[in-house]
Structure 1
């Protein structure tokens, strides 16, 4: 799903809101998450997951075309850890595709 699809779905689920207002809210949320990560903070969205930054050390890499050694600078990387509820929903969907979810639900 891309950002515009997210805005369209939220606007469709909330007909009392204008699409431009929904877009402003989505932009504000994403901007705030970006700012927090840039400041080195951790962002936790309950039942969804956690975003954090992780430092990658400087290293020596290789140019795949020439095989020559290249210095790769240290940098920050974004790390995402899915929440328990998100993992459960994804796994339930995978099991459903395999035809085992119905059996699991009947057994409980």
Structure 2
């Protein structure tokens, strides 16, 4: 039986039904949120299935690729995967901002950011 503490109605048969419905709706919302995103574990499983390899080998491959992308952006500042897109490391200039808690004007330090520009194949796949 689901925990009744999460629901404001806590006594009787109606309360039990409300709690069951509450938990059912919560799981639907969680499932909808999960379906709209892919975790690293999901990606590893998909790579393993498509490449006919173990999940451990797929995870090592994915980690090697991600490390290579990081190193390439740190060294050269640009990585192009033809058809997929281009990753570019850019420096965001120092700028003025406002502390939302106090309202004081603050200086936000310069920082590096990564921008991604999708390639034609990726754009076409998304717009099917």
Please indicate, yes or no, whether the TM-score normalized by the shorter chain is above 0.5. yes
Q: Which runs of 4+ in 1 moved over 6 A?
A: none
Alignment match, 1:61:
97
Q: What is residue 77 of structure 2 aligned with on the other side?
A: 41
Are 1:22 and 2:58 matched, yes or no? yes
Alignment of structure 1 residues 1-108 onto 2, 5 Å: 1-15=38-52, 17-92=53-128
Instruction: State the Cα RMSD in Å.
Output: 1.2
How many residue pairs match? The answer is 91
Bigger relative contact order (CA 8 A; separation at least 6)? 1
CA distance in 1, matches of 2:76, 2:104: 34
Cα distance in 2 for partners of 1:72, 1:89 equals: 38
| Alpha-carbon separation, structure 1, partners of 2:57 and 2:76 | 29
TM-score (ref. length: structure 1): 0.78
Q: Distance in 1 between matches of 2:127 and 2:54?
A: 35
Q: What SS does the corresponding residue of 2:127 show, helix, strand or coil?
A: helix
Inter-partner Cα distance in structure 2 for 1:72 and 1:39: 25
Alignment match, 1:97: none
Query: What is the TM-score normalised by the length of structure 2?
Result: 0.67
Unaligned runs of 5+ in 2: 1-37
